[in-house]
Amino acid sequence: MSVPRTLRRGLLALGATVALTAPLSGVANAEPPGIPDEATARAQLAELTVAPDGSMDGYDRDQFPHWSDQGDSCNTREAVLERDGTGVETGSDCYPTSGSWPSPYDGETWSDPSDVDIDHVVPLAEAWRSGAADWTTDQREQFANDLSGPQLIAVTDNVNQSKGDQSPDAWKPPAEDYWCTYAAMWVGVKHTYELTVEEPEQAALTEMLATC
């Protein structure tokens, strides 16, 4: 099996779970790095192998060690919170003590980091059934902690939880004006890691890129 492009470079990542409080009004949010533009995303989508999903046999989130140590007492989740937030200040343990977190999936902004999840844009279970089942644990850890590409993003916790492990044919961000960016991120991640797509997933991504 070939080693995915990102795994050749060596990556990092993040994630999380949490609750919910009152949203604030919009503040411009940072975006993950490496989001392809529309033309690039379309070209990358055309290069993906179209195939049925594989089996979920053997899958467990523990197969993708995540929230790895990123240095300076920070793990991947905390690194994304600092990257994607506005006015973020942290304690000596790297946990945010202040800041705000805009969620592009639904247009809300939160002042409590416990209201924010770190979404794996391509969910871990989705990666498993589209190629990651054949990776080593080290490769899956790199995927789950990838800070170099558009695989991790801070979003409203319950919106992330509603997504679960669904692909774009079954779940899209509530904010339709983010569909273009979300599809580009999804395609970019799958292309980097040489993951497969199903036909309905491919069709949904094509429709979402048409909103760009």
The one-letter amino acid code at 209 reads L
* Among the listed residues 15, 9, 29, the one whose alpha carbon sits nearest the alpha carbon of residue 127: 15
- SS3 for the chain is CCCCHHHHHCCCCCCCCCCCCCCECCCCCCCCCCCCCHHHHHHHHHHCCECCCCCCCCCCHHHCCCCCEEECCEEHHHHHHHHHCEEEEECCCCCEEEEEEEECCCCEEECCHHHEEEEECCCHHHHHHCCHHHCCHHHHHHHHCCCCCCCEEEEEHHHHHHHCCCCCCCCCCCCHHHHHHHHHHHHHHHHHCCCCECHHHHHHHHHHHCCC
Is the CB of residue 193 less than 8 Å from the CB of residue 4?
A: yes
Average pLDDT taken over every residue of the chain: 89
Whole-structure pTM over 0.85, yes or no? yes
Per-residue pLDDT of 91-132, as tens digits, reads 999 999 999 999 999 999 999 999 999 999 999 999 999 999
Per-residue pLDDT of 145-192, as tens digits, reads 999 999 999 999 999 999 999 999 999 999 999 999 999 999 999 999
Please state, for a pLDDT cut of 70, what percent of the chain lies above it: 86
* Residue 55, φ and ψ in degrees, nearest 5: -75, 155
Please give the structure tokens belonging to residue 194. 């040489």
**Is the pLDDT score of 14 beyond 60?**
no
How many beta carbons lie within 10 A of that of residue 74, not counting itself? 19
pLDDT value, residue 204: 98
Is the CB of residue 54 less than 8 Å from the CB of residue 130?
A: yes
Residues ≥6 apart with Cβ < 8 Å to 117: 15, 16, 17, 18, 154, 155, 156, 157, 160, 161
**Among all chains, which residue has been given the structure tokens 């809300």?**
108
CA 153 → CA 32, 81, 137, distances in Å?
Answer: 6, 8, 22
pLDDT value, residue 29: 54
